[in-house]
A = this chain, B = another copy of it.
């Protein structure tokens, strides 16, 4: 369905702002009570919801809890199940590594092995991130002919390795045996295409083990989730938009780059994002503005702090409105109810304001109110079409 957009999209100078409060969807503290969004005082968002069109969206599907990358892919107009992003790529994007088409990335765990080479601890005693960074530095001495190699710390005992070179592929099995008391598996190719990469990975492991040999408890490493960048058509090609991302966190810049967005760097907070929005107002027609901390406070289980973050975003909204966007979409990439301290599968409220609006019964921006909106529960990937349609960026289908 999204494919017909390639033929139907129309360029004009109307501007769309997509404001994402990460993990905004929530749950009440006690059954039947108010959610975080319903609790927050959000006069600006409520006014937009009352005038605009509301609904709830499912980024991946009924009952499926979205990760951050799939959640954002949906908001950018892509069915996440059509573009699975492998673990290695997620790790690389997560640390802001500029992974390129053709690169192969894999997750690395530093681990402990005994004298016979059997894994005794798959996480090397959960070493701190600084120690991990030091080991990555050490392993950057590994040299493989014809391959450029990057190894970067992620968190604790986890790192990511990126191989760059010709004829690399993700068709390689994990070396992580997912158990202790056994030796790591070989990085075996799962198809002929993976043979060169399997060889590269084997060389990497051999040299790495040599460099790590006196470094108990971090004298081994395990690789998993070999992955290439998925072939995602750009948002320019697919939707004819000229997009820019205004995000603080590397993960969201990463997933924005994945669909071809320009990315403004060095944004520290909403004020900087507001300034960047203004600065770039004449250069683009699709602005993705991302606020992370609604999700962070949800993950912390801090209901009140999540409420505050939502209120902070509400106070930021007038700065967007000053610029007179033609359409403003406000939503999240998934729900992160504070009571669950985690992402959840609950549908995510959204509001769309601008263009010719069909009135509905949603009178404020909240989960229950959005249930009374015109759109009901829809796939997340269609929001971009609603926004484009509201400003005549989609041609009539058929005569």
Which of A's residues lie within 8 Å of B, judged by CB? 1, 4, 8, 27-28, 31-33, 35, 50-51, 56, 60-70, 80-81, 84-85, 87, 90-91, 94, 337, 339-340, 343-347, 356-361, 367-368, 371-378, 382, 385-389, 394-399
- Identify the closest chain B residue to A370 (Cβ): B374
- A65-B397, A359-B367, A367-B374 are known; give 19 further A-B pairs, CB within 8 A: A4-B81, A32-B50, A32-B51, A63-B387, A63-B388, A63-B394, A64-B389, A64-B397, A65-B396, A67-B396, A70-B397, A85-B399, A339-B356, A345-B394, A360-B371, A361-B371, A371-B372, A371-B373, A377-B378
A340 contacts B361, C-beta separation under 8 Å: no
A282–B42 alpha-carbon span in the complex (Å): 48
- A339 contacts across to B, CB distance below 8 A: 356
A-B contact pairs, 21 of them (CB 8 A): A1-B81, A32-B359, A60-B397, A60-B398, A63-B382, A63-B385, A64-B394, A64-B397, A65-B397, A67-B399, A80-B398, A84-B398, A90-B398, A90-B399, A346-B358, A347-B374, A361-B368, A361-B371, A361-B372, A371-B372, A374-B377
Q: Shortest distance in angstroms between A65's beta carbon and chain B's nearest beta carbon?
A: 4
Q: Shortest distance in angstroms between A389's beta carbon and chain B's nearest beta carbon?
A: 4
A396–B343 alpha-carbon span in the complex (Å): 8
Q: Shortest distance in angstroms between A96's beta carbon and chain B's nearest beta carbon?
A: 15
- A4 contacts across to B, CB distance below 8 A: 64, 81
A349–B361 alpha-carbon span in the complex (Å): 15
Q: Shortest distance in angstroms between A53's beta carbon and chain B's nearest beta carbon?
A: 9
- A346 contacts across to B, CB distance below 8 A: 356, 358
- A344 contacts across to B, CB distance below 8 A: 356
A67–B344 alpha-carbon span in the complex (Å): 34
Q: Shortest distance in angstroms between A343's beta carbon and chain B's nearest beta carbon?
A: 6
Q: Shortest distance in angstroms between A68's beta carbon and chain B's nearest beta carbon?
A: 7
Q: Shortest distance in angstroms between A359's beta carbon and chain B's nearest beta carbon?
A: 5
B368 contacts A85, C-beta separation under 8 Å: no
A195–B62 alpha-carbon span in the complex (Å): 44
- A32 contacts across to B, CB distance below 8 A: 50-51, 359
| Complex A-B, nearest 10 residue pairs according to Cβ-Cβ distance, in ascending order | A63-B385, A67-B398, A63-B389, A376-B376, A62-B382, A70-B398, A90-B399, A345-B389, A65-B396, A67-B399
Q: Shortest distance in angstroms between A338's beta carbon and chain B's nearest beta carbon?
A: 11
